[in-house]
Amino acid sequence: MQEIETGNFSPPRLVLIPPDSIRVVNWNINRGMRLQKVIEFLASAKADVFLLQESDLNARRTHHLNVAKEIAQKLQMNYVFGREFQELTQGSRTSPAYHGQATLSRWPLSNSRILRFQKQSNFWRPHWFLPEVKPFQERIGGRLALVCETAIAGKRLVTYNLHLESKGDDVLRCSQIEETLEDARRYDISTPIVLAGDLNLDVSREPASSAISQTQFLDAFANQHVPTTPGSFLEPGRTIDWIFTRGPIRASQPQVGRSVSASDHYPLSVTLDFA
């Protein structure tokens, strides 16, 4: 489960003047169930870096496709895929299926690694009394942060692509945030960092908000929060997808794509200006 898959589909290019800013998209793509619509939106976003959660690999529900690779090939980007879970009800013993995070970039990706959280929910673990059928969604693995470095014409950008636990309480999710923040201390404050993902909680509330602010991470959507999941008759939607930055970069032009219907989450996008 520590295996990382990579692929390079971005054509080489000569850059004479490094960019002053880049565009970043963060999105839980709901396994890639509506892959063509996902690709259409990502192509229209014209972003430099995509941080995607819930990307399938060889799963029956997504026609046994490698979703991250499909997107990267269509958009001519480099990608890294980190395995979050082996989906026991979506593959077979000889042809296993996986589910995880994918980071894509028009620029070279390197030093990719998995930060698998020490504290996990027991909800997904297989049990002897449960059959391996889809309603029970049994899995092997655990939630993680996929860490990558992007080389942008001489500038280094570190990204943390997170998917925190959905089956558990905010105490568990906050502990996973704290593990991520502690890991980020290895980088000097002069290193630009983006921390983003499906966090499954409202991080503007305590204690998560204090933990993040104390480590000098800034909310890219400060004072512009709207639900990032579709609402229903019973609830207006939840604000659970986030983008934070640290170091010599400043976020501007934050947008939530509330008209995009390719997933059960809305995509978040932001422009990052290099200081």
Chain Cα centroid distance, residue 91:
23
CATH number at 215 reads: 3.60.10.10
67 occurs within a structural domain: yes
Q: What is the mean pLDDT of each run of 10 residues along the chain (275 residues)?
A: 89 86 98 98 97 98 98 98 95 95 97 96 72 68 97 94 94 97 97 98 93 95 91 88 97 96 97 94
What pLDDT, on the 0 to 100 scale, is given for residue 234?
A: 80
Q: What is the pTM of this model?
A: 0.95
16 within a domain of the structure (yes/no): no
Kindly give, in sequence order, each residue whose CB lies less than 8 Å from that of residue 2, ignoring residues fewer than 6 positions away: 83, 114, 116
- Asked if residue 96 belongs to a domain, the reply is yes
Half-sphere exposure of 41 (CA within 13 A, CB side): 24
Q: How confident is the model at residue 12, as a pLDDT? A: 87
> What share of residues in the chain are helix, strand, coil (percent, to 5)?
15, 35, 45
Could you tell me if residue 60 is inside a domain?
yes
Tell me which residue range forms the domain holding 94: 4-9+22-274
What number of other Cβ atoms are within 10 A of residue 16's Cβ? 5
Tally of CB atoms within 10 A around 236: 11
**Per this entry, what is the length of the chain?**
275
Separation between Cα atoms, residue 9 and residue 152, nearest integer Å: 16
- Give the pLDDT score at 125: 77
Phi, psi (rounded to 5 degrees) for 15: -110, 110
Instruction: Give pLDDT, residue 154.
Output: 87
Q: Residue 15 falls within a domain, yes or no? A: no
pLDDT score recorded for residue 129 = 56
* Integer-rounded Cα radius of gyration of the chain: 18
Count of domains for the chain = 1
- Per-residue tokens: 209: 């908000």
Contact predicate 156/274, CB 8 Å: no
CB atoms within 10 A of CB 55: 34
